[in-house]
Amino acid sequence: MKDIVLKTKDLCKSFANNGLQNHILDEVNLEIYKGDFTVIMGASGAGKSTLLYCLSGMDTITSGSVLFEGEAIEKKKEKEMSVLRAKAFGFVFQQIHLVSNLTMLENILASGYLIKEKTAKQVKEKAMHLLETVNMKEAAMRLPSQVSGGEAQRAAIARALINEPKLIFADEPTGALNRKNGSDVLDLFTKFHNKGQSIIMVTHDIKTALRASRLLYLSDGQIKGDMSLAPYDGQMLKEREMQIQSWLMSMEW
Amino acid sequence: MQEVFLLFRKGMKNKKGSFFGIFILMLLMSMTLISVVTIRLNYNDRQKTAVKQDGYGDILFWILDNNLSPYHMTANDILKSTRENTVVKKVKSMPYIGTHIRSVNGKKEGESLLIQRMDKSFITYTFFDKDYKKMNQKKLKLKENEVAVPLSYVSTYHCKIGDKLSFGSKDSTPVFTIAAFFEDPYMGSSIMGIKTVLINDVTYEHLKQIAVSNQDTKVALGTVLNVYQKTDHGQKLSDLAFVKKLNQKSQLSGYASFSLSNSESQNFMLILTNIFSGILVAFLFLLLIITVIIMSHSISNSIEMEFKDIGILKAMGVPAKRLQVAFLLQYVVTMLFGCIIGIIPAIPVIAFADQMTKTVINLAVSEKIAWIPCLILELAVLLLLCLFTIFQLRKMKHVKPMQAIRDGNTSVYFKSRLQLPISKRFLSLSMAFRQLISGKKNYIGACGIAAILFSFLILVNGMAQWGGAGGKNINAMFSNFDSDVSINYLNPDVKEAVEKQIDLTAKVKTSFYGTTGYMMVNGVQMYVTALSNPKEYTSVYRGRTCKYDNEILITQYVANEFGIGIGDKITVGRGNQKADYMVSGIYQCANDVGANIAMSLSGWEKLQNKELQGNAQVTTSQISQFTYEYQLKDTGKKSQLILSLKKTYDATQINVQSNVGLGGMSSVSVAIKALSFLIYVIAAVFAMVTIALVSGKIIKKETKDYGIFKSIGYTSFNLRMQIAFRMGITATIGSLLGVGLELLFGKTCVMYLLGFMGVYHYNIQSHMQSKVAIFVMIVIFFILVTYIFTRKVKRVSTKMLMSE
């Protein structure tokens, strides 16, 4: 039995628009397991990113609860949430979102230095190691304006991992990248997942979904489908893709 | 043109925070400008009008009968010869009693007093009741032993109606009751050490008896001449030329114990107004510079924020000129609104300033705004700022539509040589420094403003401290020698015993004696000090003291007035005696706004009646003429000594003082302190507006970065402190630049302002402590206010990073 790392209870998220309520998420109940590479799929505008932001505490919820290790994160104050984001969560954005006047290394250090338990030397060594892992060691001292989108996203992944988070949230991390860069980024996610990292990713791209160990389908504000996949090993990709496609078709995607 | 109004309305709505800041700046500037201009013009106007209305001539002379008797002359002789002078139109005369205040409202003072009868045919006055409201002069009837005093007695002696005033040296001279206050536009200011008070005929006759019978040597009879100049085809000579013409024939200034011309009176009366308006005009000028910096900031920020929209509009075909007009309208409307609304607070500010200074400057000033000059100046300022705005908006011409739409206002950062690595231990500070270096341009304005505010606050602080602790500096500026105790021996027989007592109590370090009075200096009456030991003149800062009897010390004012310097000759006269002296040195003494000279006692004796000349030692009969000065070894015992002397000897025997009576100057010091407080407040508001605009711009620009930082675990507090530290660093750099500004201009500005009071040489101590205090205050202020104004950071949510 896998450990539950994140759980929702009747999670609802609505937006008000000109006096009308728009229910994006409607009593979503799901569990995220430790060590899983969970990919959430759905049609465009289904609320995938909204769900991801609600799960990570980046956005407030309308009602219900999001429990991380048994604690409701919607009840946490700003300071407690910031501790959670620094220590337990890592986030990778579609638009990358590196701080533009910090170098690749400094973007990672900015996150790593928040942890009081580690010394500056330890954080720096870890950051350099991560940059090496993501093939960004040579570009460590470059600014975001001086690297390509793929390189920047790889650095963003390193930033998300610096504090050994329990969960990585990734919102369409390859959405702004070309095919080659996107593939490199996905390889990194697979690499870290294989080392035991729990990942929740949102995508509408089947190629990305191939990397998942678990697929969730979001539709009409609810999780309509939940499928487990064999671990990704880069083999039998066509069969894997067909499996996912037929599952998606059954979801009326 | 519809799109212009559309853009105008949209801009006003979207940038209301920025425009509110500019509105506040304009309001403050308008308020300050209207107040300063109105106060200055109203005071000038009132002084001139009142002098004319009250019936003052071109010059007044006060001549004591005692001064004329050695020359076997009478007041009538002087009056006759003056009337016969071809440049004189008419002369009015009135007898007066010359004396010194013994005590007023319980305080022992030695200020000179000129007691005159209330006589409308000589000079009329405006009277005030206990609430400082104008009284109907017809209703005012002074009773016996009642006196009307200048309104400045309220600030100098904290007088009120019903208080007691005594004069002379004996308790037997009558005590007056203050019955009314009056406006003396000629010499009523608290900084002048000689005042006119008014009594009725009965009281006058009584005092005349005391003077004539010599019952009290400190009560003397005299005549005041109110001299009117003849005009030549509507043209008049300057006061200086007129006095010289008068003295050519009658040596009038030589016989007079004191004289005051119209222009001298105006200078004295308006010293405070000139100093205050000088400080405020300088401050206004700086506020204008700061406003220009802030507007430049705001305009470039506006253009950056709406870069994309400008690109879209241009792509749609809207000409750049129309966009510029829309932007310009936003600023013009804001500035105009600020200027107009600024009139409202100016009204109570003017009223308050008038109330505060009425009892110091002693003028019944109108509180009406000087509309025309104020409006002209406001329009000039508005025009200047509009032209500046138009100049700044020229950038919009160069915005390329597609580039703007595509790239917007995305900042592209490059590495700076000033970059320092971010540090774990000083994370917020190192991040703040990095952000500052990355966006240096955003902080240059705030840095410049911090520099200007720092240097001006140092200047203002220096002015407020000019008096020094316990008036120490005032003494140094107004006294040309050091003395702990000054004694007049009215009874020469007690001198030996008194000196024994002084030596026993506090040990005498050195002693000397001297005299003061008014004499003619190159045909102009000036205050003269003569000392038995000229080495005791301590304030000589160029040349040397007047060692010999044909040498003289002059002030920079006298040097400028006559265009002379060290080595030049000057003629000094008294009565019918005259002698030439050579200038041996320049010294500092602000008495009579610098119109004073100093000589040795042997030099002074050359101008006395021949009977007094040639005596090597001062005879017993002459002891009472001089003031004996004592410097004490044990200065801590000074107060104890003076008390014991006053207990042992009464006012008929000795007159003892510890300092020159400077009650008026201390009120100047208090007034400058009040003004500097006002300036601190306005400076704080300007700094707050600057910080609000700069931090607002920073937050708008960096909103996305705050979202990123929050997503990786930073709190709002961390981010706000980063911004606050940035402004703290900016304030630090600005203040250090301000040190340079202050070193370059500070002394010049202070000396220019102190010059109004006759202070030309002032050792402005560096006051490092106050500089450090102001520096720390500015930095902490910038940090605190920035932290408060960055509340918006709390509202930045990480969900703004969402792409969907």
B716 to chain A, any CB pair closer than 8 A? The answer is yes
* Cα B332 to Cα B325: distance, rounded to the nearest angstrom: 10
Give tens-digit pLDDT for B437-448: 888 877 888 888
pLDDT digits (tens, 9 = 90+) for B532-590: 999 999 889 899 999 999 999 999 989 988 899 999 999 998 877 889 999 999 998 87
pLDDT at B613: 47
Q: Is B130 helix (H, G, I), strand (E, B) or coil?
A: coil
Amino acid at B367: E
Which range among A180-194, B134-148, B238-252 shows the weakest confidence by mean pLDDT? Answer: B238-252
Find the mean pLDDT for residues B84-91: 90
Residue B300 CA to residue B445 CA, distance in Å, equals 12
Q: What is the DSSP string of B252-272?
A: HHHH-SEEEEHHHHHHHHTHH
End-to-end CA distance of chain A: 30
Instruction: Give just the sign of the alpha carbon dihedral B454, B455, B460, B461.
Output: positive
Q: Kindly identify which residue of chain B lies nearest to residue A98, measuring between CA atoms.
A: B708
Interchain proximity A58–B802, CB inside 8 Å: yes
Cα B19 to chain centroid distance, Å, stands at: 35
Cβ neighbours for A143, distance < 8 A, ≥ 6 positions apart: A100, A101, A102, A103, A104, B413, B414, B415
B422 with A101: Cβ contact below 8 A: no
B442–chain A nearest CA distance, Å: 15
Q: Are strands B258-261 and B59-64 parallel, antiparallel or unpaired?
A: antiparallel
HEC profile of A108-175? HHHHHCCCCCCCHHHHHHHHHHHHHHCCCCCCCCCCHHHCCHHHHHHHHHHHHHCCCCCEEEEECCCC
Contacts of B803 in chain A (CB under 8 A): 49, 93-95, 171-172, 175
CB A147 within 8 A of CB A155: yes
Question: Does residue B172 have a pLDDT over 90?
Answer: no
Give the closest-approach CA distance of B339 to chain A in angstroms. Answer: 40
- Measure the CA–CA gap between B135 and B181, rounded to whole angstroms: 9
User: Are B534 and B214 within 8 A, CB to CB?
Assistant: no
Pairing of strands B112-117, B88-104: antiparallel
Please tell me the distance in Å from A47's CA to the nearest CA on chain B: 8
Quote the percentage of chain B above a pLDDT of 70: 90
- Is the pLDDT at B407 greater than 70, yes or no? no
**Per-residue confidence (pLDDT) for residue B614, from 0 to 100:** 45
Task: Note the pLDDT of residue B72.
Answer: 81
Looking at B64-68, B249-253, B544-548, which range is the least confident one? B249-253
pLDDT band at B666 (very low <50, low <70, confident <90, very high): low
What parts of chain A have a pLDDT lower than 70? none
Q: Which residue of B has its CA nearest to A77?
A: B715
Nearest Cα residue to A91 out of A204, A207, A203, A199:
A199
- The Cα–Cα gap between B166 and B147 comes to 11
Angle at the Cα of B18 from the Cα atoms of B14 and B21, rounded to 5 degrees: 145
Contacts of B257 (CB under 8 A, 6+ apart): B62, B63, B64, B67, B98, B222, B517, B518
Q: Give me the half-sphere count of Cα atoms (radius 13 Å) on the Cβ side of residue A29.
A: 2
Summarize the confidence of residues B578-605 as an average pLDDT. Answer: 90
Q: In the predicted model, is pLDDT for residue B609 greater than 70?
A: no
Cβ atoms of residues A4 and A36 within 8 Å:
no
CB atoms within 10 A of CB B430: 19
Q: Min CA distance, B713 vs chain A (Å)?
A: 4
The bridge status of strand B508-521 relative to strand B524-531 is: antiparallel
B320 touches chain A (CB under 8 A): no
Report the percentage of chain A scoring pLDDT > 70: 100
Residue B441 near chain A (CB below 8 Å): no
Which of B416, B430, B711, B715 best tests the A interface by mutation, with the highest count of A CBs <10 A?
B711
Distant-in-sequence, close-in-space partners of B356: CB < 8 Å, separation ≥ 6: B671, B674
Range of lowest pLDDT (B348-352, B417-421, B437-441, B464-468): B464-468
Average pLDDT, chain B: 84
Q: Which residues contact B695 (CB under 8 A, 6 or more apart)?
A: B723, B727, B786, B789, B790
Share of residues in chain B with pLDDT > 90 (%): 33
Residues 6 or more apart in contact with residue A159 via CB below 8 angstroms: A90, A98, A107, A108, A110, A111, B712
Confidence band for B610, pLDDT divided at 50, 70 and 90: low
The DSSP-derived string for B754-773 is: HHTTT---------HHHHHH
Handedness of CA B753, B757, B758, B760 (dihedral sign): negative
d(CA B226, CA B260) in angstroms, rounded, equals: 10
Judged by a CB distance cut-off of 8 A, whether residue B801 touches chain A is yes
A109 touches chain B (CB under 8 A): yes
- Tokens 């006096």: give the residue: A19
Phi-psi sector, B591: left (phi>0), alpha (psi -120 to 50), beta: beta
Minimum distance, in Å, between the CA of residue A228 and any CA atom of chain B: 26
Distance CA B302, CA B313 (A): 15
Contacts of B443 in chain A (CB under 8 A): none
Q: B567 touching A, CB under 8 A?
A: no
Enumerate the β-bridge partners of residue A218.
A42, A223
Q: Does the pLDDT of residue B612 top 50, yes or no?
A: no
Select from B508, B487, B759, B481 the least CA-distant residue to B599.
B481
Strand runs (DSSP E) across B324-365, as ranges? none
In this predicted structure, the answer to whether residue B178 has a pLDDT above a threshold of 70 is yes
3-state secondary structure of B500: helix
Q: What is residue B220's predicted lDDT score, i.e. its pLDDT?
A: 87
Chain B residues with CB-CB distance to A156 below 8 A: none
**Domain-by-domain residue ranges, chain A?**
35-57+77-250
Cβ atoms of A157 and A132 within 8 Å: the answer is no
Q: How confident is the model at residue B787 (pLDDT cuts 50, 70, 90)?
A: very high
Mean pLDDT of chain A: 92
For residue A45, the chain B residue with the least C-alpha distance is B804
Would you call B427 and A113 a contact, using CB atoms and an 8 Å cutoff?
yes
Is 80 exceeded by the pLDDT of residue B758? no
Please report which confidence band the pLDDT of residue B356 belongs to, taking 50, 70 and 90 as the band edges: confident
Burial pattern B241-269, b for ≥16 Cβ within 10 A else e, equals ebbbbbbeebbbbbbbbbbbbbebbbbbb
pLDDT tens-place string over residues A6-42: 999 999 999 887 778 788 899 999 999 999 999 999 9
Q: Of the spans A32-41, B235-244, B673-682, B763-772, which averages the highest pLDDT?
A: A32-41
What does the angle CA A170 – CA A173 – CA A178 come to, to the nearest 5 degrees?
170
Residue B281 has pLDDT above 80, yes or no: yes
Residues A144, A98 contacting (CB under 8 angstroms)? yes
On whether any CB of chain B is under 8 Å from the CB of A68, the answer is no
Q: Do A110 and B801 touch (CB under 8 A)?
A: no
pLDDT on residue B574: 83
- At residue A204, φ and ψ (nearest 5 deg) are -115, 5
**Helices B320-341 and B271-305, packing angle to 10 deg:** 150
Given this model, what pLDDT does residue A66 score?
96
Q: Which residues of chain B have a CB within 8 Å of the CB of A147?
A: none
Residue with tokens 């032993």: B145
Probe site for chain B from A101, A108, A115 (most B CB atoms < 10 A)? A101
CATH assignment, A35-57+77-250: 3.40.50.300
What was the pLDDT predicted at B622? 63
Q: How many CB pairs under 8 A join A and B?
A: 103
Q: Which of A59, A101, A143 faces B799 most closely, judged by CB atoms?
A: A59
**Distance to chain A for B394, nearest Cα, Å:** 29
The share of chain A scoring above pLDDT 90, in percent, equals 79
3-state secondary structure of B488: strand
